[in-house]
Structure 1
């Protein structure tokens, strides 16, 4: 295996000050071994109060408030440079904390650095609008910071998700109070220390690990928080949206998915098989955009599924820091057990387990949170297994007959986050892509991302977008300004 675990200081960042949390201690587990990596104290609602107050003061300070966009960009560039200098340490830390392969965590760290660099570039080229003149006055539209933003990040890709919230919020001129997931606080705290040491003005970033029911609730309901960005489960997202509605506060929600991947009869079989496996089994299926429902043209269904099962059964399951591992452990034994219950449900619903369907029979892996990549068929799209998000390495395959049948099944879901299409016919792919109810559609690829391209979901998969130029707009308020040109602009009173 690669690299030894390096603990992080048992301190949280509260408005520029590093100190022990005032909340209870929590164990951080290595999901590959089940061993305790370290014990970390957590934050409390009082820590949230302090962080919000210090954040509001930092936003109002002329030293930050009056910076021009290109001057804020300098901070983001310095942060990106600092992330790149610490890339291997961050990647190794995330692999220990989440179980992910080092190949994946290195990619996530590179993505985080790229996110800060992209939003710095957007600031360098940001224009405000001189709107069309409709009278003897000039009209313009400007954007201003919201103030203090609450950011609640998921456990499945903390460093990249943290960056996608922190970078655009800072770029727009805000302060950020970040709550990392309870299971995976280490890399978020390490990233915070890198950002702090890169010279970001004190108070603009706080990182408060802890329970969602304590720290998360305090952030969402705090009167000083002007916006919340949340990535996580749909049920929690509803509660966040509820609180936001009570406060009349803007909110961005990236929630669950049950994404369809579609194989048409003319698809390149080997490319499609490899792409589908990557879409569901990379990250051990712990991805909101995982292609967990597979629809295959009935004319090729049997042969295609046989090839898919053959290759899936050969995937290498093992520790994330072991070279050659393709399917690493899940983030926590509790989550692994939840996935196992869904596979048991599939059996009860009449599903056939074509491969996987259990914990690996390998003494080396017995203490970790491992689960075999699993392919199931024999179910209908209205089964619970096909309708509910499993968030693990579980793929359900279904045949379809013609486009109307395909679209009826693929769109029959409360979710609408992503979809994939495999075909040689780009005209047909375009037609299907426009009719699929999803925020992102991949054609002859899957699970590829660009920070320059907006990302979001429809239906119960979320509200708003992240990434792209819209990513900064989502963290700002729009203001219109009128500049009168008449010597006597309002003669009515004369």
Structure 2
């Protein structure tokens, strides 16, 4: 198992560091071994107040920076992230057990988001309205930053979440206070140090790892003017209730139960490779928009299942820092217990047939946070396993006979984050893309979350967008000025 030294993580309020917080401490366990590797100070309301105070002191200065100066600072931050991709991958393995190739990929994506939004700094504009009004009125709109944004991110892929949220918030001229999950503190902590190196003014960015109390203090603070949250629907409902007390807006990027529709008129081998890579091979299935429900046309169902099993059997499970490992551990023992309970209910209720895996890993991984890569067929579309987010290395295979049935099953959950279509029929792809209840549809390929395209969900998957012009507009409000 990995024996790389674990870094420390601190509360970073502006340019000051704190090794103690009013929220107590958290003992971080190595996700591979389960052995304690660091004690993390946790923020509470006291540290949130201090971070807000520091942001208030600097927010007008930051807003008045020229677009070019702000652009250069964010671009430098992006370069620093890119120069440290290998270190971020190492930290991701220590944080949450992410295999090194996946960690490097996510770090590169985060750098891309910084590059993209740095370019928006000098392109933010409003609109001039008609001057042919007989009343002689001239009107225009102007974008303004909110001021202070509260950002709460979950534990899976914290660095990409920072790129998707912090970069556009800063580019819009806001100060940000980030509360990362205490489960994965190391990569965000290193990122906070790079923010300083990039020349972002003291107080514009603060990092406060913490639990529920810190998150609630951040959401409720009257000087925090908008919340951007990535996590689950249970926490999101509580956040919305608190925001409602102050009429505070929020962006919510929540979970998913994404369907991938596989038709016989495409490259079946490639589609099967993608199905395993983007469910079991990405963070052991711990991703919000992964295509975890593979819906296969009945004419190729049996062939596809055999191909999926063969591909999965070639995936190496183990230490995320080891050569060739494609599947790492789950985030903690609680996740293992939860998923194993779901698999046990599949067996007892007969809601599916486990054709591969379905057990905790044995051998050298016995007793650790590992579950065998699992494939389940003959899934009841209305069952728990087909309706609830699993967040583990489990792929469901469902059968359909025609497009109408495929759409009906795909749209049968409360989620609506992503959907996938595997077909070489362009008319079918365009028709189904319109019919699928989803914030994003991806045709003949893996998930494509680009900095320049909007990303976000429907229903229980949340609302608001990250990416593209829509992503920076979430951190701007428009003021209309009329002159008689």
Q: Deviations over 1:140-160 (max 9, x none)?
A: 111111111100001110111
Distance between the aligned counterparts of 1:192 and 1:112, measured in 2? 14
Distance between the aligned counterparts of 2:469 and 2:117, measured in 1? 8
CA contact (8 A) 1:12 1:209 kept: yes
**Counterpart check, 1:277 vs 2:271:** no
Report the equivalent of 1:356: 357
Give the superposed CA RMSD.
1.5
- Alpha-carbon deviation of 1:70? 2.2
Distance between the aligned counterparts of 1:376 and 1:349, measured in 2? 14
CA contact (8 A) 2:376 2:397 kept: yes
Distance between the aligned counterparts of 2:30 and 2:420, measured in 1? 33
Distance between the aligned counterparts of 2:5 and 2:368, measured in 1? 16
Report the equivalent of 1:257: 256
Q: How does 1:100-139 map to 2 (within 5 A)?
A: 100-135=98-133, 136-139=136-139
CA contact (8 A) 1:148 1:177 kept: yes
Q: Deviations over 1:64-119 (max 9, x none)?
A: 22122222111101211222233222221111111001111111111122211111
- Alpha-carbon deviation of 1:2? 8.0
CA contact (8 A) 1:16 1:204 kept: no
Report the equivalent of 1:217: 216
Distance between the aligned counterparts of 2:310 and 2:383, measured in 1? 25
Give secondary structure in 2 for the equivalent of 1:280: coil
Q: How does 1:336-415 map to 2 (within 5 A)?
A: 336-350=336-350, 351-363=352-364, 365-415=365-415
Distance between the aligned counterparts of 2:305 and 2:406, measured in 1? 17
Report the equivalent of 1:325: 325
CA contact (8 A) 2:125 2:143 kept: no
Distance between the aligned counterparts of 2:178 and 2:84, measured in 1? 21
Report the equivalent of 1:228: 227
CA contact (8 A) 1:21 1:44 kept: no
Report the equivalent of 1:157: 157
Give secondary structure in 1 for the equivalent of 2:449: coil
CA contact (8 A) 1:349 1:383 kept: no
Alignment TM-score, normalising by the size of structure 1: 0.94
Give secondary structure in 1 for the equivalent of 2:120: helix
Q: How does 1:296-307 map to 2 (within 5 A)?
A: 296-307=296-307
Cα pair distance change 1:404/1:59, threshold 3 Å: same
Cα pair distance change 1:151/1:165, threshold 3 Å: same
**Counterpart check, 1:142 vs 2:142:** yes
Q: Which moved more, 1:252-261 or 1:376-385?
A: 376-385
Report the equivalent of 1:34: 34
Match of 1:75 among 73, 78, 81: 73
Give secondary structure in 2 for the equivalent of 1:397: strand
Distance between the aligned counterparts of 1:119 and 1:145, measured in 2? 14
Give secondary structure in 2 for the equivalent of 1:95: helix
Q: How does 1:140-219 map to 2 (within 5 A)?
A: 140-211=140-211, 213-219=212-218
Give secondary structure in 2 for the equivalent of 1:194: helix
**Runs (4+) of structure 1 moved beyond 4 Å?**
none
Distance between the aligned counterparts of 2:258 and 2:84, measured in 1? 34
- Alpha-carbon deviation of 1:44? 1.1
CA contact (8 A) 2:62 2:174 kept: no
Report the equivalent of 1:487: none
CA contact (8 A) 1:15 1:205 kept: yes
Report the equivalent of 1:418: 418
Give secondary structure in 1 for the equivalent of 2:154: coil
- Alpha-carbon deviation of 1:3? 8.2
- Alpha-carbon deviation of 1:122? 1.5
CA contact (8 A) 1:141 1:480 kept: yes
Give secondary structure in 1 for the equivalent of 2:480: strand
CA contact (8 A) 1:260 1:293 kept: yes
Q: Provide structure 1 residue ranges, at least 5 long, that are not aligned to the other structure.
A: 485-494
Report the equivalent of 1:90: 88
**Counterpart check, 1:468 vs 2:468:** yes
CA contact (8 A) 1:349 1:379 kept: no
In the alignment of these two chains, the number of paired residues is 479
Give secondary structure in 1 for the equivalent of 2:295: strand
CA contact (8 A) 1:3 1:92 kept: no
Report the equivalent of 2:11: 12
CA contact (8 A) 1:34 1:367 kept: no
- Alpha-carbon deviation of 1:348? 2.0
